[in-house]
Amino acid sequence: MNNSSVMDKLRFKPRAIKPHGVFYDNNCNGEVNEGCSKILYFVEGSTQQGEICETLDYMKLKVGSDSSDKVWEGVEIGWELTSKPNGADDADLESSSTESGEDGITENRLTLGDRPGEYNVKATCVDCEYIKDLTFKAEAICPTVPSYMQNDSAWSDSSYADICKKPRDSNWDGKIDDKDTPGVVKCSAKYPEKWGIGKKGCALTTIAMMVARYRSSDNPVPIDTLNSLFKDEFDLYKGKGYAIEGDVLWNQIAELTQGHVYVDFDYYSNASELKDEILQPLSNGLINQHLEKCTPVIVAVNNNGSRHWVVVTDIIWGEDGSVSDYLINDPGYGNRRTLFSEPYNGKIYKIRIYSNKAGGCPPATN
């Protein structure tokens, strides 16, 4: 035997490699052949984003070959939700097992859970030779809280709670200005001038935002309609939605929504007057646990000596992982977007948590 023939037999013959690093099956040689290896490929939906509790678009994959255009029909794929945010419930897959069709493609759908964060789904092909599994990733985000303004021209002048303006003293000239803001009194012949939503409706407007958050976004409750219901319809339930001084009765919203939206928690500070020297603000940490599961929070703040209500919608996290600020929907001042800005300075004095029968998931049914 000559040296060249020996070297030919000993010489290493490399196998072809596809761009993704998988070896060709030596029996295929680029031809359609029943011996080709089965490999999983992403088709659609490898990364998605949606609101909590939303059913996402289809996750699609293909059972193909490592060395040809061949696809495989009837291959079983197992599906498993492998990770979800801590405390998340209700995440679910449409099916735990599917089969590839004539085009080699199969699909499944994920319904996100009730907590924001990352959800991972693994698709596994037991019969595949090389790429046996693929992981689909989805991010759940909190639904947007609609922002309403109490001074919107659509309802600003609507009579709020049927309460009227009372002069601060006997010398009142009947003109309303910042130095002589009238008080609140039951309407009568002596005091006929009614307060409007634009001046007194901050609490009502925050409630409207919460009801809209938990209902279908294309069916919001107009604030003037909610105001009318609070003034009139609660007679059917042996009580109105307003106290005699015009304060909203927060728990009455459960009557209007047949129990779907209700007050879940109330936190109060240890004093009633909004004076920093005697009033101790509540810990902001009380609202974090609710915001982290997509539950907005209504809080009372000190608006230059007057009580004012805003909706806290989200946490702004700092680079070190601590709370940097909070996003708010302020019904009275559209330019105030964060809780730590003036004049609120991050101080909260009352907290009201509205919950929904579906947890943080929208929408509630009528």
At the fourth CATH level, the homologous superfamily of domain 16-141 is Immunoglobulins (2.60.40.10)
- Report domain extents, the chain: 16-141, 159-356
Q: Residue 70: its pLDDT value, please?
A: 85
**Given pLDDT bands bounded at 50, 70 and 90, which one contains residue 185?**
confident
Q: Residue 262: its pLDDT value, please?
A: 83
pTM of the model: 0.77
- Asked if CATH classification 3.90.79.10 holds for the domain at 159-356, the reply, yes or no, is no
Q: Residue 358: its pLDDT value, please?
A: 65
Q: Residue 138: its pLDDT value, please?
A: 98
Q: What percent of the chain has pLDDT over 70?
A: 77
- Please determine, for residue 67, whether its predicted confidence score (pLDDT) is greater than 70: no
Q: Which residue has the higher pLDDT, 232 or 261?
A: 261
**Given pLDDT bands bounded at 50, 70 and 90, which one contains residue 249?**
confident
Hey, what are 195's tokens? 């307060």
**Average pLDDT in the 298-317 region?**
93
Q: Which residue has the higher pLDDT, 220 or 218?
A: 220
Q: Residue 363: its pLDDT value, please?
A: 54
Reported residue count of the chain is 366
**Average pLDDT in the 29-44 region?**
71
The pLDDT mean for the chain works out to 81
pLDDT tens for each residue of 325-365? 999 999 999 999 999 999 999 999 999 998 887 666 765 44
Q: Which residue has the higher pLDDT, 181 or 95?
A: 95
- Please determine, for residue 97, whether its predicted confidence score (pLDDT) is greater than 90: yes
Going by C-alpha positions, the residue among 298, 294, 301, 300 that lies closest to residue 311 is: 298
Question: CA torsion 30→31→32→36, rounded to 10°?
Answer: -50
- DSSP state for residue 75 in the 8-state scheme: -
User: Poorest-confidence range of 30-39, 172-181, 261-270?
Assistant: 172-181
Highest mean pLDDT among 148-162, 181-195, 224-238: 148-162
Give dist(CA 144, CA 119) in Å, integer.
Answer: 20
Give alpha helix (H) positions in the chain.
3-10, 197-200, 202-213, 223-231, 253-256, 285-291
* 322-207-164 Cα angle (round to 5): 125
The C-alpha R_g of the chain, in whole angstroms, comes to: 31
User: Poorest-confidence range of 211-220, 242-251, 273-282?
Assistant: 273-282
φ, ψ for residue 145, nearest 5 deg: -90, 120
- Please determine, for residue 223, whether its predicted confidence score (pLDDT) is greater than 70: yes
Q: Residue 362: its pLDDT value, please?
A: 60
Strands 47-51 and 133-141: parallel
